[in-house]
Structure formats: structure tokens, C-alpha cells
Amino acid sequence: MFNFKQFSVQQDQCAMKIGTDSVLLGAWCPIENNPFSVLDIGAGTGVLSLMLAQRSNAEQIDAIEIDENAYEQCVDNFENSPWADRLFCFHAALDEFVEEPEDEYDIIISNPPFYSENFKTENIQRDLARFQDALPFEDLIDAADLLLSENGIFAVIIPYKEEEKFIDLCAQVELYPVKITRVKGTPTSEIKRSLLAFKRYELSTLSADELVIETSRHQYTDAYISLTKDFYIKM
């Protein structure tokens, strides 16, 4: 059980446990478009949906999860949350979900699987959650293009080394970055992650910023505390 300030998440049936990436994305994702509807692609535990339920007034928060165990746990986490009436999880693959789109979404959010390295472990469930071929960037971006509302925001967290490729792929379907934050563990470490938000129109100027998580072990920066304090109990 992982306890946040306003909700708790069971994760023993999920291959991908809650980590810094999901919490960063859920706290960082822009919501200034006052979303009515949210789609969480590859929901896992459902933590992104739960964070956006806490942060926004969105009335329709849909999640999709392909793995049966994770799906069942996501449903339980939704039902046990304060926002059960706004949250719904579909047990489906992304390509099934987009075959008959019924809705557009004001926010589409995803922490996609991203080990593009050519090795797999013996655990198929964890591999599915972890490896890019289970959800290629192209498929994710095509789905966002299909399902994003006119003023919608598409938000992801990906490895920094994939940032340029991801932005280029989005540009091919006329989705353009409006907010970029690059994340590093400490002031001296390499940039590890990119938080990216896209819209259907291009900004004349785009500025990217940096977020440092720790100054030293468990000594969190003011910026990281400010971003996550509504969620982490100890912040």
C-alpha cells in the first residue's frame, strides 16, 4: 500500500510500482484548460488518474490498462478513492480503445513504457509495462491526435534521450510542445527525464526549464517539494 495525503494505492498486482516519474507527471501536468475529461493511457495502479482527480474538477476521468491484474487493481484503487464517481478504468489495449472513439479528452496523460533496449526479463507482465514495443511512441501519439480535444493538453514523461524524437513524432500530427521540464536527480547529475506537454497549436517562443529533485540524499529541493507537497505525506 502506498499512501498519499488524500488517497491510497494498492500496487502488489501491478508490474510497475509507483515511482518518482508518475508522481512528477501527475503533479506537473498543466490543467489550466480546466479539463472536463481526462484519459490516462497505460494506467497501471491508476495513480495519474487519481492525482488529476485530486488536482482538477474533471468529471470524466477514464483510464485504460491492458494487463488484467493491473486493471483489476486500478479499479479497486478507483473505488476506494474519494473520487470513485469520476473515475473509470477500461480493460483494453490502446488499439482496441481507439477503434471506436466515443469521446474527446481535454487532457491525455501517459507515463509510457520506455526500455527500448533489446533485452527482456522472464517476467512478461513487467516486460509489458516496461518495454517500448508494448506501446510504441508512434501508437501513443496517433491516439493522442485522434482523441485530444481542440484545446486539449497531451502530457508525458519520457527519457531525456528520447525527447527530440518524441517532439518530432508529435510535430508530424501537428501536436506542438507548450511546456518542457527536464529532470535531474541532483544538481551535478545528468538530465534523466523530460516532462513534455503538447497542444494543437505552436507557440512563437517556447522556454524549457529544469527541475532538480535532491541536493543530497533525501534532501529535497524547494522546487520538488513545492511540486509534490499536495501528495507526499512527508513533504
Question: Which tens digits make up the pLDDT trace of 220-232?
Answer: 999 999 999 999 9
Distance CA 47, CA 123 (A): 22
Query: Quick one: what percent of the chain has pLDDT higher than 70?
Result: 91
pTM of the prediction? 0.92
Classify residue 226: in a domain, yes or no: no
What value does the CA radius of gyration of the chain take, rounded to a whole number of Å?
17
Q: What pLDDT, on the 0 to 100 scale, is given for residue 115? A: 53
Q: Which domain holds residue 149?
A: 2-175
CB 61 within 8 A of CB 38: yes
Classify residue 235: in a domain, yes or no: no
Classify residue 227: in a domain, yes or no: no
CATH (domain of 83): 3.40.50.150
User: In the predicted model, is pLDDT for residue 188 greater than 80?
Assistant: yes
SS (H, E, C) the chain: CEEECCCEECCCCCCCCCCHHHHHHHHHCCCCCCCCEEEEECCCCCHHHHHHHHHCCCCEEEEEECCHHHHHHHHHHHHCCCCHHHEEEEECCHHHHHHCCCCCEEEEEECCCCECCCCCCCCHHHHHHHEHHHCCHHHHHHHHHHHEEEEEEEEEEEEHHHHHHHHHHHHHCCCEEEEEEEEECCCCCCEEEEEEEEECCCCCCCCEEEEECEEECCEECHHHHHHHCCCECCC
Average pLDDT, the chain: 92
User: In the predicted model, is pLDDT for residue 180 greater than 70?
Assistant: yes
CB 52 within 8 A of CB 26: yes
Classify residue 220: in a domain, yes or no: no
Classify residue 167: in a domain, yes or no: yes
Give pLDDT tens digits for 54-95. 999 999 999 999 999 999 999 999 999 999 999 999 999 999
Distance CA 42, CA 68 (A): 12
User: In the predicted model, is pLDDT for residue 120 greater than 70?
Assistant: no
- What is the band of 127 on the pLDDT scale with cuts at 50, 70, 90? low
User: In the predicted model, is pLDDT for residue 133 greater than 60?
Assistant: no
C-alpha cell at 110: 501517459
- What is the band of 98 on the pLDDT scale with cuts at 50, 70, 90? very high
- In the chain, the number of structural domains is 1
Q: Taking the CA of residue 160 as centre, how many other CA atoms within 13 Å lie in the half-sphere pointing to its CB?
A: 14
Classify residue 229: in a domain, yes or no: no
CB 191 within 8 A of CB 164: no
- What is the band of 101 on the pLDDT scale with cuts at 50, 70, 90? confident
Q: Pairing relation of β-strands 176-184 and 208-212? A: parallel
Classify residue 193: in a domain, yes or no: no
